[in-house]
Amino acid sequence: MKGRSNEEIGDYIHFYSGVGKGLRAKRGVSIAIHKNLKEGINRWEEIDEQIIMLEINKNGQNIVIVGVSVPSNEVGVSVPSNDDAETRDSSYIQLENVLSKVRKVRRYS
């Protein structure tokens, strides 16, 4: 997936975040929501090419959707290089930061 943007596809709005246009598309993440939720979208944020966040208000409730695509280090799943291991570790740290922000917002809403 390349670039960072959103687009309408049929009845859905597709939010996506990927690598830069000039790079090989080896990472990316997206969230698709029905377009009847469009009016409730508060904001969306592309954290990086592996994490995206969407805030929606539906029926007076604030909903935060976090889309994540991070490599695993489970048994049987190989991590081909140190670069990938570093990317994975940094992505998990970034994910923790995003989840901390979501928790703070939820506490004060």
* pLDDT 10s digits, 11-23: 999 998 876 677 6
Q: Which of 88, 83, 82 is nearest to 70 (CA)?
A: 88
CA distance 79 to 11: 37
Question: Which structure tokens are listed for 37?
Answer: 């939720």
Q: What is the pLDDT of residues 53-76, one digit of tens each?
A: 999 999 998 899 999 887 666 555
Name the pTM for this structure: 0.72
Burial of 78 (0-12, 13-18, 19+ CB in 10 A): exposed
- Whole-number pLDDT of residue 3: 74
